[in-house]
A and B are shown apart, each in its own frame.
Chain A
Amino acid sequence: MKLLAAGATVGNPAANIGIFVLFVVITLFIVIRASKKNTTAAEFFTAGRSFTGPQNGIAISGDYLSAASFLGIAGAIAVYGYDGFLYSIGFLVAWLVALLLVAELLRNAGKFTMADVLSFRLKQRPVRMAAATTTMAVCLFYLLAQMAGAGGLVALLLNISSEVGQALVIAVVGLLMIAYVLIGGMKGTTWVQIIKAVLLIGGAALMTVMVLAKFGMNFSEILGAAQASVSGSTTKAVAARDVLAPGAQYGASMTSQINFISLALALVLGTAGLPHVLMRFYTVPTAKEARRSVVWAIALIGAFYLFTLALGYGAAALVGPDEILAAPGGQNSAAPLLAFHLGGVVLLGIISAVAFATILAVVAGLTITAATSFAHDIYASVLKSHQVTEDEQVRVSRITVVVLGIVAIGLGILANGQNIAFLVALAFAVAAAANLPTILFSLYWRRFNTRGALWSMYGGLISTIVLIVFSPAVSGAKTAMLPSLDFAWFPLANPGIVSIPLAFILGVVGTLSSPDDEDPALAAEMEVRSLTGIGAEKAVSH
């Protein structure tokens, strides 16, 4: 802890802030220019469906590569080695589920939200309500994780260590996000994500080349140096790690191995159920463009994770685990420290600004998704029985954005410094358990009905949350959110291995236990539209 007190920050906070402010000014300018025409609901919620596949693919990777992916995975590889790499593989392979099974059919059958598709041929009200509930839950968990992460980042990068100062920065991030979404709608948010993705992937590529250059372009040399550096750690437990093979983080016991399998399951099945990713498929004009967007996203995300592999091992080799773990922010500081090591104040400033931009862009994407779902699914469909105009939906969603932004600021300040890293894993677990089974069943299983959808969605949501609450992530362990209490009875921090199969089974049992009374004409319409694109929502013409 001594190291932490003395010279806690690296680089020049003024440079970090300056580069970030520059990013904000440029993106705000673009958002304002891009949003001249944000009058209709289709414009506000889906950017008029006018983005091309490649543009949307870049935006998807901007949405997907959150601070957890960038700082978290590079840090996990730097400290635990191979086990950090396992995350990135789950995050990438998951895109095949989206590409092969979900993206195109969803684009053809829906309008604004995931609930449009799920409730297409089932009873509108209850299914929409359930889908909106799970959407909000996933967005909230994800949002909270991002906002709380902002606090730790501030401590490291801006040399703001007081609680009040960090709270202020969280508030600024929240207010900026509200401004982006209110002014820019989906179009502005998308542009922020595109710019951020280019900066993030470009920055990671640059650092990768610099790391490789230090080792004569020989990847094996980096691995050797990383292992040597970790073995030389002053902490015995760290020095004993074999960072080139799996097992450093998850290999200790049977429980931790099953925990790892559970996490892997949630990662691979969660992505195609993340509402803020699904909503991005509505910003392109056709299903074919939705396919192209996923192809671009897979290429960019795959490349990015290959970069993080080099960055993580590079940070272990060049910075060393002791310095990383002693820095404020712990393993999350591996990538910024490596940037400082490679390129001094300027590169650190750029990478810090990119990390901030990442939080900002992901938070904006989550907020517009949650607000759209509230306005379109809960307000317009459930509360007002479709008796509202689309203009009013936009108005309601704008109010929702402000409310959500304030809630996110408040929760982010409360959660600052808490160990809530499990929230991202929880968001994936909820998406995989509550959303994906119903998405797949309603697209591919004609007999699937309302009871099956409700049982699967609520069952998946509730079982995931209950298991997390009674898991060692929340209580009963040194690393838990509430370390002083112990009410844990479920041994795994990742509930997916129980809740995901349970949600699939509930979908089947619920369906088979109620009569086949859904309208066959609607089922036919949904299948024909999803496969052929007949009657699909067209791009707004300008």
Chain B
Amino acid sequence: MPETDLPPREAAASGLDFEQIQASPEFQELRSRLRRFVFPMSAVFLIWYAAYVMLGAFAHDFMAIKVWGNVNVGLLVGLGQFLTTFIITGVYVRFASRELDPRAEAIRTEFEGTAS
């Protein structure tokens, strides 16, 4: 077995110059838009989740404060996690179909069309 190892990947025969596509400004734009959205958003929901877990582990009295009837802070913060999960999902889907899908498709048609 040669040290370079075996890359028998069918698509490698597509004849596309992926390094050229990668260097193109269109691709760089797509890449940075994706990263500028998903990294901060992931940080936001992970920190919010971590805060919730910490409150659940250490702040029992705070979580037990009654807000409405028997519904307390803990329950509201927990339901808040559900709510933010649904909201972030919706925001991402809007972002992806507006900002990512058209750019990815433009790159696909530009480069896939030229390859035989």
**Interface set of A (CB-CB < 8 Å, partner B):** 82-83, 85-86, 89-90, 92-93, 95-97, 99-101, 104, 123-125, 218-221, 223-224, 227, 242, 244-247, 250-251, 257-258, 260-261, 264, 268, 288, 291, 294-295, 298-299, 302, 305-306, 385-386, 444, 519-522, 524-525, 527-529, 531-535
Given A223-B71, A246-B56: 8 more A-B contacts, CB < 8 Å:
A89-B78, A125-B6, A244-B70, A245-B60, A264-B56, A298-B89, A533-B104, A535-B112
Which 8 pairs of residues, A with B, have the shortest CB-CB distance? A220-B69, A245-B64, A223-B70, A525-B18, A524-B22, A247-B60, A524-B18, A246-B56
Smallest beta-carbon distance A382→chain B, Å: 10
Please report the C-alpha to C-alpha distance between residue A125 and residue B6 in the assembled complex, in whole angstroms: 8
Q: Return chain B residues, CB-CB under 8 Å to A244.
A: 64, 70, 72, 74-75
Task: Indicate if the CB atoms of A220 and B71 lie closer than 8 Å.
Answer: yes
Given contacts A86-B56, A96-B42, A302-B82, contact A528 B18 (CB under 8 A): yes
Given contacts A100-B38, A242-B64, contact A532 B71 (CB under 8 A): no
| Best-buried of B88, B104, B108 by chain A (most CB within 10 Å) | B104
Task: Indicate if the CB atoms of A532 and B68 lie closer than 8 Å.
Answer: no
Task: Indicate if the CB atoms of A535 and B14 lie closer than 8 Å.
Answer: yes
Q: Return chain B residues, CB-CB under 8 Å to A386.
A: 6, 8
Given contacts A89-B52, A100-B92, contact A245 B72 (CB under 8 A): yes
Please report the C-alpha to C-alpha distance between residue A90 and residue B107 in the assembled complex, in whole angstroms: 37
- Select A302's contact among B16, B86, B107, beta carbons within 8 Å: B86
Q: Return chain B residues, CB-CB under 8 Å to A251.
A: 57, 60
Smallest beta-carbon distance A450→chain B, Å: 9
Q: Return chain B residues, CB-CB under 8 Å to A83.
A: 56
Task: Indicate if the CB atoms of B104 and A261 lie closer than 8 Å.
Answer: no
Q: Return chain B residues, CB-CB under 8 Å to A305.
A: 82
Given contacts A220-B71, A244-B64, A528-B18, contact A250 B82 (CB under 8 A): no
- Select B56's contact among A93, A260, A521, beta carbons within 8 Å: A260
Smallest beta-carbon distance B69→chain A, Å: 3
Q: In residues 47-96 of chain B, which contact A (Cβ within 8 Å)?
A: 49, 52-58, 60, 63-64, 68-72, 74-75, 78, 81-82, 85-86, 88-89, 92-93, 96
Residue of B nearest to A220 (CB): B69
Please report the C-alpha to C-alpha distance between residue A86 and residue B38 in the assembled complex, in whole angstroms: 25
Q: Return chain A residues, CB-CB under 8 Å to B4.
A: 519
14 CB < 8 A contacts A-B: A83-B56, A97-B42, A245-B63, A245-B74, A250-B57, A260-B53, A302-B86, A519-B4, A519-B7, A521-B19, A524-B21, A532-B30, A534-B107, A535-B112
Task: Indicate if the CB atoms of B49 and A93 lie closer than 8 Å.
Answer: yes
Residue of A nearest to B4 (CB): A519
Residue of B nearest to A125 (CB): B5
Smallest beta-carbon distance A299→chain B, Å: 7
Task: Indicate if the CB atoms of A385 and B101 lie closer than 8 Å.
Answer: no
Smallest beta-carbon distance B4→chain A, Å: 8
Task: Indicate if the CB atoms of A95 and B85 lie closer than 8 Å.
Answer: yes
Q: Return chain A residues, CB-CB under 8 Å to B97.
A: 288
Smallest beta-carbon distance B105→chain A, Å: 8
Q: Mark B1-29, 1 if CB is under 8 A from A, else 0.
A: 10011111001101010110110000100
- Select B42's contact among A100, A521, A522, A533, beta carbons within 8 Å: A100
**Interface set of B (CB-CB < 8 Å, partner A):** 1, 4-8, 11-12, 14, 16, 18-19, 21-22, 27, 30-31, 34-35, 38, 41-42, 45-46, 49, 52-58, 60, 63-64, 68-72, 74-75, 78, 81-82, 85-86, 88-89, 92-93, 96-97, 101, 104, 107-108, 111-112
Smallest beta-carbon distance B48→chain A, Å: 9
Q: Return chain A residues, CB-CB under 8 Å to B70.
A: 220-221, 223-224, 227, 244
Q: Return chain B residues, CB-CB under 8 Å to A288.
A: 97, 101
- Select A298's contact among B55, B86, B111, beta carbons within 8 Å: B86
- Select B60's contact among A90, A246, A529, beta carbons within 8 Å: A246
Task: Indicate if the CB atoms of B89 and A96 lie closer than 8 Å.
Answer: yes
Task: Indicate if the CB atoms of B85 and A96 lie closer than 8 Å.
Answer: yes
Residue of A nearest to B93 (CB): A295
Given contacts A245-B74, A525-B18, contact A96 B45 (CB under 8 A): yes
Task: Indicate if the CB atoms of A82 and B19 lie closer than 8 Å.
Answer: no
Residue of B nearest to A246 (CB): B56
Q: Return chain B residues, CB-CB under 8 Å to A522.
A: 7
Q: Return chain B residues, CB-CB under 8 Å to A101.
A: 38, 42
Please report the C-alpha to C-alpha distance between residue A295 and residue B46 in the assembled complex, in whole angstroms: 18
Residue of A nearest to B112 (CB): A534
- Select A524's contact among B19, B69, B75, B86, beta carbons within 8 Å: B19
Q: Return chain B residues, CB-CB under 8 Å to A100.
A: 38, 41-42, 88, 92
Q: Return chain B residues, CB-CB under 8 Å to A306.
A: 82
Task: Indicate if the CB atoms of A528 and B21 lie closer than 8 Å.
Answer: yes
Task: Indicate if the CB atoms of B21 and A534 lie closer than 8 Å.
Answer: yes
Q: Return chain A residues, CB-CB under 8 Å to B19.
A: 520-521, 524
Please report the C-alpha to C-alpha distance between residue A99 and residue B37 in the assembled complex, in whole angstroms: 12
Task: Indicate if the CB atoms of A534 and B78 lie closer than 8 Å.
Answer: no
